[in-house]
Amino acid sequence: MYTDHAKDLIEASDKYGLTNLKIEAESWYVKQIKFLAYDVVEVLAYADKMNFFLLKEAAIDFIVAHVDEVRSSGTLEDIPESKNIMHEILYSVATMNNKGRKRKHYDEDDLDILSMSDLRAELVWKDKDIDGSRAFLIARLRNVKKKTTG
């Protein structure tokens, strides 16, 4: 599978509601893509427009980790004006430690610091649907917790 074909597969599986295929293809694509400072903002805009949340998170994490390079490329100003994107960028900044790596330790009750991959893993473990935005996945996990404790 080539990355161009992966994008087509992600889009087609999203269009036809093939959630598991979409998530697998998106996950593969995120692992294969090599972000570059001059095109990561374009990838972010595409991911945001298409609601590809894992790709969006990966692009944002790259921007945060390589902000000087992205700023030097002149593309930082092209980030789509969206409260949601700005919130996610701030979230990514807040969850990075001094070395630029995500924290691995978290309070089980604090779902807000989990990555999309971690949120999806929790939902798979609980045998729940894993498609949706970050906020939607967090809400789904909180709902599962309420049902099991209440």
Would you place residue 105 in the very low, low, confident or very high pLDDT band (cuts 50, 70, 90)?
very low
Amino acid at 81: E
Chain-wide mean pLDDT for the chain? Answer: 82
Q: What is the pLDDT of residue 109?
A: 65
Would you place residue 43 in the very low, low, confident or very high pLDDT band (cuts 50, 70, 90)?
very high
User: Could you write out the three-class secondary structure of 44-109?
Assistant: HHHHHHHCCHHHHHHHHHHHHHCHHHHHHHCCHHHCCCCHHHHHHHHHHHHCECCCCCECCCCCCC
Mean pLDDT over residues 29-38, rounded?
A: 92
pTM above 0.75, yes or no: no
Q: Is the pLDDT of residue 148 over 80?
A: no
Phi and psi at residue 96, to the nearest 5°:
-90, 140
